[in-house]
Amino acid sequence: MDKEKILEELSFEERIEKTKQILSKLNNQSLNLRDGLNLYKDGLKELELAQKMLENVKLQYQELKVQNMENKEQE
């Protein structure tokens, strides 16, 4: 399984935890600039993917809420 596929399979909570780990590494004062930049990019990517997951769940929730309201109206 390639790295991209593994990244797609992480849960929201795992992405947040991974971001916290990256942040912890970024606080290391002995980190060189290149590694720091790469970690920063990885952290932004994880946050972006987590945000997309959150938006998708919010949309699903709203759709379920509308369906529930429609079902109640039909009763």
Q: What is the pLDDT of residues 31-71, one digit of tens each?
A: 999 999 999 999 999 999 999 999 999 999 999 999 998 88
- The pTM score is 0.75
Question: What are the tens digits of pLDDT across the range 32-42?
Answer: 999 999 999 99
pLDDT at residue number 71: 86
**Residue 23 belongs to what domain range?**
3-74
- For the cut 80, the answer to whether the pLDDT of residue 3 exceeds it is no
- If you write DSSP's letter for every residue of 6-63 in order, what string do you get? HHHT--HHHHHHHHHHHHHHHT-TT--HHHHHHHHHHHHHHHHHHHHHHHHHHHHHHH
Q: Is residue 15 a contact partner of residue 46, using CB atoms and an 8 Å limit? A: yes
Distance of alpha carbon 22 from alpha carbon 74, whole angstroms: 50
User: Domain total for the chain?
Assistant: 1
